[in-house]
Amino acid sequence: MLDAVDTTMSDALVGRVLDGRYRVEARIARGGMATVYRALDTRLDRVVALKVMHQLFAENDQFVARFIREAKSAARLSHPNVVAVYDQGDDGGYVFLAMEYVQGRTLRDLLRERTRLTAAEALSVLEPVLAALSAAHAAGLVHRDVKPENVLLADDGRVKVADFGLARAAANLEATSATSLIGTVAYLSPEQVIRGIADERSDVYSAGVMLFEMLTGRPPYDGETAVSVALKHAHEDVPPPSSLVSGIPTSVDMLVARATARDADRRPHDAGAFLAEVVRVRGGLVMSEADDGSLTTLINRTLVVEIPDTATVGPNPPWQSGQPGQSGRPGQSGQPPRVTEPPRIAVPPQPPEDEYRRPHPHRKGWIAFFIILLLAAAAATAGWWFAAGRYTSMPDLVKLSSSDATAKAKAAHVTVQVGEPEFSATVPKNAVVEQSPAAKHKVLRGDSVTIRLSQGPQLFQVPKYDVAGGTSLVDYKSELIAAHLNIADPLATQYSPTVIPGNVISVFPAVGTDEKAGTTVTVTVSLGPEPIPIVDYTNQSGDQATQALKSAGFNVVATQDYSTTVKAGLVISQSPNSGTGKLYDTVTLDISKGPQLFKVPNVSSNLNGDPKNWISIQQATSILTDAGFKVNVGSTGRFGVVTRQTPKGSSMQPLGTVITIYAQ
């Protein structure tokens, strides 16, 4: 990776040794998916670049599994213009790749400095990029994220392409939101925008957009949002670069138009075919432009380019372009790439001439004619075989059953190998979810295709919750997220006398049910006990009030008091006597026992008794008044002695009762 060390802020990983091997020395760059560090491989004593995935990705088991698979595929890709992948590991949650360390900068850095390049400069950078992509396409790999940030310009003049397979690994995320479009939107092909698929022609489109930007200093489309830019890729044609910058040759305009055709079938079928066209066009540029030395100063012109043997070459092959003695591959002197020589036609030896009569001159001519015809047919057959006959187009096996895919591959002269199965929400179980190489890829007859069969959608169990102890909604949301399930919005709520408000009462689908990722789970949350209206039973029967309140769900506490105003058995007061309560709340009733009774003093005198014991009206009035009663004199009599009273003495009466006395 590039040496663009960021020293503006500290980093917890700097100074650590990952996997007991890689000592992290400095942070180089940070992107949307990972942070890149310069590190020392202490085992081999070499500097490497460590690409450490962000925690968002490292915590996703599905991503990590696919990431490791893609890293292994990228590690098998060996080419001078590809950033080599050395190792992959996981240390304490830090998922990383160890890659080749490239001293230099990115194509993006060069464009920021230069704004734009000449046609010859742009094509000289594009050639090694396409060489790298061509090698990947031949191996069945599609980059999916071709952009200037992934093109590295080494200080020694090499051009390298980085991040093979990472976009494919990220494409399987549910995540989020930020990965709905894989790849920088400015370089997405129409089929990636519309159908979410990518093949070799998608890389060709991205490379064509990158060529447009190198020539003009800007991408073909801009907009206020990423979605608006993506829609332009899907519904508008890339304009010719010469419409923005004068002096760009028509052949270069046509090159951009071919690579960025919205119809993928109109583009070069892979990077090798595009590379052949680029080499031909570059060879036809005027020498004054081709000899421009500005780019030489920046990357020393030592661009390592390898054109695959299977690349489709146009009418002017790269080894015939440019000056005499120059070659499409540096280090060669006008020699074409090695081509396997067609089989020679064996001609049987002629028998001794004396065994036969000398042939007639006309017969000799016919024999020569047939021999020439036979040789021409053999040469044509050999030419067809080496040019096209030994190749076949990889059939589209996706969504076919294993048996159907095998039969279709056999018909196309391709053998089938079955790789590890893979979960898929869109492809039926036991059908092909992925193939490598991709459909329409040109391969040799007898080559193999690796298919991965669908295991159907990955299922996750609805998590448990604690019924007895109670599980809060916040905690259960975390459980659902961990299980890749969604929670219904709005929430379902229910009153519960036993579950604390805010805790989970029930879920649907039921706990333990297997569901697809993203399934919505309805969670019912407790509102606590249901509110109960409180009725005021003051001045009503205490027994009836008690029964009614208990039936409503309240606990009732009844007390009794004397009352001179409320009849016995009726409610004197109630607390609370209004509003609402909850189940099992307590309501207190104060029930009247009626007025309190006191003994009436006996003030009646016996006239037959001792006169000393006679009680006068005045004495009786004083005695009754002091006892809390009122006095009414019914008669005064002749002697003024009380002989009778109503109510009678010793009877029980409420205080304040009027006692009528009679005297004689």
* Interatomic CA distance for residues 281 and 284, integer angstroms: 5
Burial 248-283 (b: 16+ CB within 10 A, else e): bbeebbebbbbbbbbebeebbbbbbbbbbbbbbbbb
Give the side-chain half-sphere CA count within 13 A for 125.
Answer: 32
Give the side-chain half-sphere CA count within 13 A for 571.
Answer: 24
User: What are the structure tokens assigned to 161, written together?
Assistant: 């392409």
Question: Is 145 a residue of the active site?
Answer: yes
The residues, ordered by sequence, that sit 6+ positions from 229 with a Cβ below 8 Å of its Cβ are 185, 186, 221, 222, 223
* Interatomic CA distance for residues 396 and 267, integer angstroms: 19
465-to-478, 517, 524 alpha-carbon distances in Å: 12, 19, 12
Give the side-chain half-sphere CA count within 13 A for 182.
Answer: 25
Q: Return the bridge partners of 486, or none.
A: 520
Alpha helices in 284-386 (DSSP H): 287-290, 294-299, 361-384
* Interatomic CA distance for residues 240 and 260, integer angstroms: 10
Identify whether the C-beta of residue 2 lies closer than 8 Å to the C-beta of residue 106. Answer: yes
Q: Please identify which of the residues 45, 90, 145, 610 carries the catalytic annotation.
A: 145
Q: What is the DSSP string of 245-286?
A: STT--HHHHHHHHHHT-SSGGGS-SSHHHHHHHHHHHHHTS-
Report DSSP state, residue 335: P
* Interatomic CA distance for residues 612 and 630, integer angstroms: 25
Pairing of strands 432-436, 630-635: unpaired
* Interatomic CA distance for residues 317 and 276, integer angstroms: 7
613-to-325, 607, 663 alpha-carbon distances in Å: 163, 9, 14
Q: Is the bond leading into 647 cis (omega within 30 degrees of zero)?
A: yes
Q: What φ, ψ does residue 531 adopt, rounded to 5°?
A: -65, 140
* Interatomic CA distance for residues 90 and 471, integer angstroms: 34
Identify whether the C-beta of residue 475 lies closer than 8 Å to the C-beta of residue 504. Answer: no
The amino acid sitting at 645 is: Q
User: Which residues are tagged catalytic?
Assistant: 145
